Amino acid sequence: MDSTFLQKCRQGDKKSLSVLYTEYKTSWYMIALRYAKSSYDAQDILQNGLVKIFQGMKSFDPNLGQFSSWSNKIIVNECLLFFRNQRQSFSFDEINEDNLSMELDERNEHRIDAQTLTKMIQKLPNGYRVVFNLFAIEGMTHAEIGQILNIKESTSKSQYFKAKKLLKSHLEVII
């Protein structure tokens, strides 16, 4: 993304902001969808994130990093805020994995598409899903995740391990 285009966005040029939205809306929505339980929740998260992105454009400094990283982080933070505001608790208790069902609508013999994987991630329990996304997708450390979620680092590691194990077992069934 060139600096002239970003400068127009930072100045509030509506046409440039529209182009920016069109270019990034799918990736922002996919981030929200990975954290949310439903498309409705993802849409709420995206809407709130868009407000923050567009309001914060003036403070974005392209010399400090890429726009995509900056805006994606806003969406991730909005996902975490959404759960806090909805008073959905992250369950970090032991979960009996035998009782978890991840029935998929679409099955493919040899490969899995992003949509199917996203649906599988959505069906993870809240604690598993959030830790999995923060560690595997966002690249945070377990120490960072522990601070953000107010849990022990070992709890984050455990939740990630269990999420990965559960996803792997369901992937083996469909692949």
Closest CA to 144 of 80, 88, 72: 80
Q: Please tell me the total number of residues recorded for the chain in this structure.
A: 175
User: Helices (DSSP H) in the chain: which residue ranges?
Assistant: 3-10, 14-35, 39-56, 67-85, 114-122, 126-132, 142-149, 153-174
Give the pLDDT confidence score for residue 116 in this predicted structure: 83
Give the pLDDT confidence score for residue 93 in this predicted structure: 53
Q: What structural domains does the chain harbor?
A: 3-85 (1.10.1740.10), 97-174 (1.10.10.10)
Give the Cα separation of 105 and 118 in Å (integer).
12
Q: Residue-wise pLDDT tens for the chain (175 aa)?
A: 677 888 898 888 999 999 999 999 999 999 999 999 889 999 999 999 999 999 998 888 888 889 999 999 999 999 999 877 775 555 555 444 444 444 444 444 446 678 888 888 888 888 899 999 999 989 999 999 999 888 999 999 999 999 999 988 877 776 5
Give the pLDDT confidence score for residue 104 in this predicted structure: 42
| 99 DSSP 8-state letter | G
Query: Residue 167 corresponds to which tokens in the numbers above?
Result: 């996803």
Whether the Cβ atoms of residue 121 and residue 133 lie closer than 8 Å to each other = yes
